[in-house]
């Protein structure tokens, strides 16, 4: 049991971290009333920027390279997300459609530039990815230490911590109250003097930053390079985590961890006698099936923010 946990939990954490980060972005955006199907594209952008920056500046920044890479990916991610904000906030675009376009655009730009800059469809592997480490002191705690603090990526902790920060911001601060108000009833927020468009821009930009962070963390902990196949569906899983987690930062975190656990189990299972007999395909579809069952069974009535997906026209009805 102990050993099973010790091998599963770190894998769950590294698998889930990019999903958690991206899902947090989704929570911000959707809580403000802007549907974000474009998380996948934001992750693509993050992965692309993270890898390219890492490859280009590894010599300059040394051991700080991965950290600066994810920072830059956050910045570029949020700049990129402005497109979504402009379309869906300023031009009242259908937000789902704009998100789909974001996905196509990010992949198109990423691969196009990779080909133009590197002359091939995928980059080399980076020399400065993130590595796991044992957390000093904490790792020495008996039982808990080895399970939670050995062989862990700091970025995984970053993801968990940011989930709590996001919760605090959304549910304890004026900013969060306003952001949620804008997503529930923008006109009410407007009459209270809250700038609806500005809040939504901020929220979408945050989703860009988190998506960029999630994508670059994925790239620098798991993939190590960038190609058209680096991000294939992780953004959609993050979106699933947003909804599964009822648009709540901690819920989204829980959902992402759950996906990680399901994936991890599907790998570990071959060593567990009972699970080993299950056809491979069942294990492959388990995470998706479980999500559907969970949505249908336990949280069937997840209420989306009421104004989610509805452009706000001043003076409209």
Partner 1 sequence: MEYAIEMLNIRKEFPGIVANDNITIQLQKGEIHALLGENGAGKSTLMNVLFGLYQPEKGEIRVNGKEVHITNPNIANDLGIGMVHQHFMLVEPFTVTQNIVLGSEPTNKLGKIDLAKARNEIQALSDRYGLQVNPDAKISEISVGMQQRVEILKTLYRGAEVLIFDEPTAVLTPQEIKELIEIMRSLIKEGKSIILITHKLKEIMEVCDRCTVIRKGKGIGTVNVSETNTTDLASLMVGREVSFKTEKIVAQPTDTVLQIKDLYVRDARKVDLVKGLDLEVRAGEIVGIAGVDGNGQSELVEAITGLSKARAGSIKVNNKEISNLSPRKITESGVGHIPQDRHKYGLVLDYTIGENIVLQTYYQKPYSKAKVLSYKEIFDKANKIIEEYDVRTPSVYTKARALSGGNQQKAIIGREVDRSPNLLIATQPTRGLDVGAIEFIHQKLIEERDKGRAILLVSFELDEIINVSDRIAVMFDGKVVANVKPEETNEQELGLLMAGSQVNKAGETSQ
Partner 2 sequence: MTSNSKHFGLLVPIISVIIGLIAGAIIMLLSGHNPIEGYAALWAGAFGDSYTIGETIRRSTPLILTGLAVAFAFKTGLFNIGAEGQVIVGWLAAVWIGLAIDAPMIIHLPVAILAGAIAGGLWGFLPGLLKAKLGVHEVIITIMMNYIALHVTNAIIRNVLTDQGTTTEPIAGTASLASEWLQSITFYSRIHYGILIALFAAFIMWFIIERTSYGYELKAVGFNRHASNYAGMNVSKNIILSMVIGGGFAGLAGAMEGLGTYGTISVMSGFTNLGFDGIAVALLGANNAFGVILAGLLFGVLKEGAGEMPTTAGVPTELVDIIIALIIFFVASSYIIRWALSRFKKEGK
Partner 3 sequence: TETEEEGTDDNSGTETEGAEENTKEATEEEAASGDYKIAMVTDIGGVDDKSFNQSAWEGITAWGEENGLVEDEGYDYAQSNEKADYMPNITRFVRDEYNLVYGIGFELKEDIQTAADQYPDTNFAIVDDTVDASNAVSITFKEHQGSFLVGVAAALKTSTDKLGFVGGVDSPLIKKFESGFIAGAKSVNPDIEVDVQYAESFADAAKGKLIATNMYDSGIDVIYHASGATGNGVFNQAKDIKQNDPEREIWVIGVDRDQHEEGQINDHNVTLTSMVKRVDVAVQDVANRGMNGEFPGGELLEYGIEEDGITFATTNEEAMTEDIITTVEEWQEKLLNGEVEAPKTTEELEAYEDSL
Q: Is 317 among the residues that bind ligand ATP (CB under 6 A)?
A: yes
Segment contacting partner 3 by CB under 8 A, of 63-71, 170-178, 207-215, 219-227: 219-227
Q: For residues 277 and 132, what is the distance between their CA atoms, to the nearest angstrom? A: 33
Q: For residues 162 and 139, what is the distance between their CA atoms, to the nearest angstrom? A: 21
What is the nearest approach in angstroms of partner 3 to the Cβ of residue 281?
8
Rounded to 5°, the CA angle 10-38-191 comes to 110
Q: Is 316 among the residues that bind ligand ATP (CB under 6 A)?
A: yes
- Residue 100 interacts, among partner 2, partner 1, partner 3, none and using kind-specific CB cut-offs from 5 to 8 Å, with partner 2
Report H helices in the chain: 2-31, 39-61, 65-85, 95-118, 144-148, 154-172, 174-184, 186-191, 196-218, 234-244, 249-268, 273-276, 280-297
Segment contacting partner 3 by CB under 8 A, of 6-14, 51-59, 172-180, 293-301: 6-14
Q: Are 260 and 252 in contact (CB under 8 A)?
A: no
Judged by CB under 8 A, which of 4, 125, 272, 285 binds partner 2? 285
Q: Is 315 among the residues that bind ligand ATP (CB under 6 A)?
A: yes
- Residue 298 interacts, among partner 2, partner 1, ligand ATP, none and using kind-specific CB cut-offs from 5 to 8 Å, with none
256 three-class SS: helix
- Residue 83 interacts, among partner 1, partner 3, partner 2, none and using kind-specific CB cut-offs from 5 to 8 Å, with partner 2
Using alpha carbons, list the distances in angstroms from residue 290 to 244, 249, 266: 11, 20, 12
- Residue 279 interacts, among partner 3, partner 1, partner 2, none and using kind-specific CB cut-offs from 5 to 8 Å, with partner 2
Segment contacting partner 3 by CB under 8 A, of 87-95, 160-168, 182-190, 230-238: 230-238
Segment contacting partner 3 by CB under 8 A, of 8-16, 27-35, 37-45, 141-149: 8-16
Q: Which residues contact 149 (CB under 8 A, 6 or more apart)?
A: 134, 135, 138, 139, 141
- Residue 302 interacts, among ligand ATP, partner 2, partner 3, none and using kind-specific CB cut-offs from 5 to 8 Å, with partner 2
305 three-class SS: coil
Nearest to 237 by CA among 220, 262, 213: 262
- Residue 268 interacts, among partner 3, ligand ATP, partner 1, none and using kind-specific CB cut-offs from 5 to 8 Å, with partner 3
Locus of tokens 């991000």: 231
Q: CB 269: neighbour CB atoms within 10 A?
A: 18
- Residue 286 interacts, among partner 3, partner 1, ligand ATP, none and using kind-specific CB cut-offs from 5 to 8 Å, with none
Locus of tokens 């790792």: 139
Judged by CB under 8 A, which of 5, 61, 100, 134 binds partner 3? 134
What is the nearest approach in angstroms of partner 3 to the Cβ of residue 53?
18
Indicate the length of the chain as a whole number.
317
Residue 314 in tokens: 């001043």
- By beta-carbon proximity to partner 3, the closer residue of 22 and 234 is 234
Contact mark string toward partner 2, 96..135, x via CB under 8 A:
xxx-xxxxxx-xxx-xxx-xx-------------------
Q: CB 225: neighbour CB atoms within 10 A?
A: 18
Nearest to 91 by CA among 311, 315, 307: 311
The dihedral sign for the CA sequence 168, 174, 179, 181: positive
List contacts with partner 2 (CB under 8 A): 37, 83, 86-87, 91-94, 96-98, 100-105, 107-109, 111-113, 115-116, 229, 232-233, 236, 239-240, 243-244, 279-281, 284-285, 288-289, 291-292, 295-296, 300-302, 304
């Amino acid at each position: 049991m102990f050993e099973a946990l010790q091998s599963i939990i770190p894998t769950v954490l590294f698998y889930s971290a990019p999903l958690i980060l991206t899902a947090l972005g989704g929570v911000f955006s959707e809580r403000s009333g802007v549907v974000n199907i474009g998380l996948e594209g934001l992750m693509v952008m993050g992965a692309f920027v993270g890898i390219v920056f890492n490859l280009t500046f590894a010599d300059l920044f040394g051991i700080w390279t991965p950290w600066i890479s994810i920072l830059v990916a956050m910045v570029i991610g949020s700049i990129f997300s402005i497109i979504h904000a402009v379309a869906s906030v300023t031009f009242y675009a259908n937000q789902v459609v704009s998100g789909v376009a974001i996905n196509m655009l990010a992949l198109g730009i990423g691969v196009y530039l990779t080909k133009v800059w590197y002359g091939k469809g995928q980059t080399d592997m980076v020399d400065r990815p993130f590595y796991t480490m044992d957390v000093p002191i904490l790792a020495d705690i008996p039982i808990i230490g080895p399970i939670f603090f050995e062989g862990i990526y700091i970025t995984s902790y970053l993801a968990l911590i940011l989930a709590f920060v996001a919760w605090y911001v959304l549910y304890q601060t004026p900013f969060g109250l306003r952001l949620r108000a804008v997503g529930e009833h923008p006109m009410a927020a407007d009459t209270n003097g809250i700038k609806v468009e500005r809040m939504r821009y901020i929220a979408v930009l945050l989703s860009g930053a988190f998506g960029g962070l999630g994508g670059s963390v994925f790239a620098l902990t798991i993939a190590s390079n960038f190609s058209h196949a680096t991000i294939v569906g992780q953004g959609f899983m993050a979106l699933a985590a947003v909804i599964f987690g009822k648009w709540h930062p901690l819920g989204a975190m829980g959902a992402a961890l759950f996906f990680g656990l399901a994936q991890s189990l599907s790998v570990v299972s071959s060593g567990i006698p009972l699970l080993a007999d299950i056809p491979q395909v069942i294990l492959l579809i388990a995470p998706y099936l479980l999500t559907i069952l969970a949505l249908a069974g336990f949280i069937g009535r997840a209420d989306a923010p009421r104004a989610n997906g509805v452009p706000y026209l001043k003076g409209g009805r």
